């Protein structure tokens, strides 16, 4: 009996020691006021007259101690087949942190996050982990629309956070009937991009027939259905609506199927792996030697050009208009390749992630969002931050001039159509100048096979 008593006593003593030590360690509020550490412009801080800050924000505040970092979380897919996409967005956002000098409001930025696994249940687990961490100020994510659907109720509705997605394209997420406040995206709504592609094919190329291929992803399937709707409205005929599976290699059978109906164009807005297989195999299929090919921003990358080889000559993409921001983009790619030692570019959304991070950082620095105490403690007001992001207007990002609409769509609606030239192909790069943009001058047909 004695031994047990001893054990219990010891444990009690240990816990008491711990609590005592904890009580003795200085709480940040009680710390003597020292000079503000950061050299941050005063405009960002409200007058810190009252020593005690009381949070009046509707969604509450995140308090950041004088030496604590500003914690921004990501929710990307960093495992499995889609991890290319996830690491790409993660790198893009990290580069934005680097470019900000790793600091905002005089505090270092802590940028870490969770794997959403490109699934609804993975998204929910990741979002819950982020939600449980009370230091998180804002979220960059998700990559996959399915993960977003499961994350939004937790992060936006339960937790009152704001999230900017660099890669969700599903129209449902910003549909006025379904949009949840606090959710934003710098990626393009499939609705816009699919419509531009259909408009280009029917009014510029003046094609009457087209075939489509999707890969069973929410992105591709969504784009294809918007394209089909618009193309048919414009009087075009969709000869085949085909689909492949992620992981398929042999595309010739499905292309043979399309060849039987002899469409003028094949629209396949999918990702690099399967898109590359289609591009590299399409000319081997009798009947498709001269069919025009078109894709979307998912394959607007040098990797696709490498995978497709010489068949990419004359290829069309719909993609955000990088032309106006060319130099910024090139510099970003250069930094990207240097830092991550990646030959070529991973996936299409790193620039969107870069912009998303910058939008969050800019919003944090807007007046009235963050209250800074004299000792350097920050109080981030969640509703104010949400409002500041929503008020983003003419933000000069790499992917365009970003302006958020009431439903959270912040992407520059300027989608343009690009075409691969022989020169670009030789260099293995994507074209830098669009050949057509909605409302712009007509496309002058070149390089049509």
Partner 1 sequence: MTAISETKPLATPTAVPAWFKQALKMGLIGGIIAVLIALEGMVQAFNTRDIVSGVVSMGIIIIFITYFATAYVAAAKSGVASPAVGLIIGALAGFIAALSLVVLIAVGQVINIGGMIISATPELYDLLTFKQGLTTGSLTILLSGLGIGLAAAIIYLLPKAIRQALLYGLVAVLLFGLLQDLVRVTLSDFDALTPIVKFLYTSNGLSNEGTIAVFVIFVLGSYLQSTRGALVQSRVAALPSPARMTLKWTGVVLGVVLLFLMPVLLGLYLTDVIDTVGIYLLMGLGLNIVVGFAGLLDLGYVAFWALGAYTVGILTSPQHATGIIHNWWLAAPFAIVVALFAGVVLGIPVLRMRGDYLAIVTLGFGEIIRLLAISDFLKPWEGGAQGIQRIPTPAIGPFQFVTTQLNLPILGQTPFQPQQMYYYVIIGGCLLGIFVASRVKISRLGRAWMAIREDEDVAQAMGINLVVTKLLAFGLGAAFGGLSGAILASKIQSVYPQSFGFLISANVLSLIILGGMGSIPGVIVGALALVGLPELLREVGDYRYLFYGAVLVVMMLVRPEGLLPEARRRMELEEPRAEEVSASTQEPVRATTTEP
Partner 2 sequence: MPLKIGGKLISLTDVAMFIIGGLILALVVVGSIATLLHGKYTARQWMDLVVFGVALGGIYALIALGYTLVYGILRMINFAHSEVFMSGPFTAYFLADAWGRSGFLDQNPVIGLLAIFILAMGISTIVAVLLERIAYRPLRFAPRLVPLITAIGASFFLQYFFRGLYGPNIKVYPDVPALKGNITFGDLNVTYVQILVIVASFLMMAVLQLFIMKSKTGKAMRAVSEDKQTAALMGIDVDRIIVITFVLGGALAGAAGVLYALMFKQVSFTMGFIPGIKAFTAAVLGGIGNVPGAMLGGLFLGVAESVGPNLFLDGLGIPAPYQLKDAIAFTLLVLVLIFRPSGILGESLAEKRA
| Interface ranges with partner 1 (CB under 8 A) | 1, 3-4, 6-7, 10-11, 14, 17-19, 21-23, 25, 27, 65, 67-69, 78-79, 83, 87, 110, 112, 114-115, 118-121, 123-125, 128-129, 131-134, 146, 149-150, 153-154, 158, 170, 172, 178, 214, 216-218, 220-222, 241, 243, 245, 340-343
* HEC secondary structure over the chain: CHHHHHHHHHHHHHHHHHHHHHHHCCCHHHCCCCCCCCCCCHHHCCCCCCCCCCCCCCCCEEEECCCCCEEEEEEECCCCCCHHHHHHHHHHHHHHHHHCCCEECCEEEEEEEEECCCCHHHHHHHHHHHHHCCCEEEEEECCCHHHHHHHHHHHHHHCCCCEEECCCCCHHHHCCCCCCCCEEECCCCHHHHHHHHHHHHHHHCCCCEEEEEECCCHHHHHHHHHHHHHHHHCCCEEEEEEECCCCCCCCHHHHHHHHCCCCCEEECCCCHHHHHHHHHHHHHCCCCCCCEEEECHHHCCHHHHHHHHHHHCCCEEEEECCHHHHHHHHHHHHHHHHHHCCCCCCCCCHHHHHHHHHHHHHHHCCCCCEEECCCCCEEEEHHHHHHHHHCCCCEECCCCEECCCCCCECCCCCEEEEECCHHHHHHCCCCCCCCECCCCCCCCCCCCC
Q: Find the shortest distance in angstroms from Cβ 283 to partner 1.
A: 26
**Nearer CB in complex with partner 1: 109/195:** 109
CB nearer to partner 1: pick between 218 and 345: 218
256 touching partner 2, by CB under 8 A: yes
Q: Does 342 bind partner 2 (CB under 8 A)?
A: yes
247 binds partner 2 per the rule CB under 8 A = yes
Looking at beta carbons only, is 273 or 385 nearer to partner 2? Answer: 273
**Which of 131, 136, 278, 285: binder of partner 2 (CB under 8 A)?**
285
Of the two residues 66 and 86, which places its CB atom closer to partner 2 in the complex? Answer: 86
Our finding on whether 309 is near partner 2 (CB under 8 A) is yes
237 in contact with partner 2 (CB under 8 A): no
The binder of 7, among partner 2, partner 1, none, by C-beta within 5 to 8 A per type, is partner 1
The reply to whether 242 sits near partner 2 by the rule CB under 8 A is yes
Binding-site ranges for partner 2 (CB under 8 A) = 79-81, 83-84, 87, 216, 241-245, 247-250, 252-254, 256-257, 259-261, 272-273, 276-277, 280, 284-286, 303, 306-307, 309, 341-342, 344, 346-347
């Amino acid at each position: 009996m004695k031994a047990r008593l001893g054990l219990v006593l010891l444990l009690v003593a240990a816990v008491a020691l711990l609590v005592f030590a904890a009580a003795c360690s200085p709480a940040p509020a009680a710390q003597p006021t020292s000079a503000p550490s950061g050299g941050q412009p005063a405009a960002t801080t409200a007058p810190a007259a009252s020593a005690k800050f009381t949070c009046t924000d509707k969604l509450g505040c995140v308090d950041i101690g004088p030496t604590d970092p500003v914690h921004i979380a990501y929710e990307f897919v960093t495992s499995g087949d889609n991890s290319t996409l996830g690491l790409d967005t993660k790198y893009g956002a990290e580069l934005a942190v680097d470019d900000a000098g790793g600091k905002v409001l005089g505090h270092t930025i802590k940028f870490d996050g969770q794997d959403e696994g490109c699934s609804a249940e993975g998204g929910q687990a990741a979002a819950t982990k982020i939600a449980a961490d009370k230091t998180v100020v804002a979220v960059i994510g998700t990559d996959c629309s399915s993960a977003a659907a499961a994350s939004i109720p937790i992060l936006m509705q339960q937790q009152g956070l704001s999230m900017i997605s660099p890669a969700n394209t599903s129209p449902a997420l910003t549909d006025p009937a379904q949009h949840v406040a606090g959710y934003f995206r710098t990626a393009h709504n499939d609705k816009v991009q699919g419509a531009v592609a259909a408009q280009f094919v029917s009014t510029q190329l003046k094609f009457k027939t087209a075939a489509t291929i999707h890969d069973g992803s929410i992105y591709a399937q969504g784009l294809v259905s918007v394209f089909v709707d618009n193309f048919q409205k414009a009087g075009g005929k969709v000869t085949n609506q085909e689909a492949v599976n992620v992981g398929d290699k042999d595309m010739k059978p499905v292309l043979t199927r399309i060849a039987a109906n002899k469409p003028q164009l094949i629209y396949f807005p999918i990702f690099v792996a399967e898109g590359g297989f289609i591009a590299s195999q399409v000319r081997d299929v009798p009947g498709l030697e001269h069919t025009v090919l078109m894709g979307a921003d998912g394959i607007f990358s040098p990797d696709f050009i490498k995978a497709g080889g010489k068949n990419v000559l004359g290829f069309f993409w719909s993609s955000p208009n990088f032309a106006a921001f060319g130099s910024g983009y090139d510099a970003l790619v250069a930094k990207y390749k240097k830092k991550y030692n990646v030959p070529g570019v991973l996936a299409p959304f790193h620039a969107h992630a870069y912009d998303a991070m910058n939008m969050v950082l800019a919003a944090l620095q807007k007046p009235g969002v963050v209250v800074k105490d004299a000792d350097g403690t920050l109080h981030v007001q969640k509703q104010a931050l949400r409002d500041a992001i929503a008020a983003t207007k003419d933000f000069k990002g790499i992917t365009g001039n970003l302006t958020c609409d009431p439903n959270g769509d912040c992407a520059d609606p300027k989608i343009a159509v690009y075409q691969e030239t022989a020169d670009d192909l030789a260099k293995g790069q994507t074209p830098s100048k669009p050949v057509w943009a909605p409302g712009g001058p007509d496309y002058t047909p070149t390089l049509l096979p």
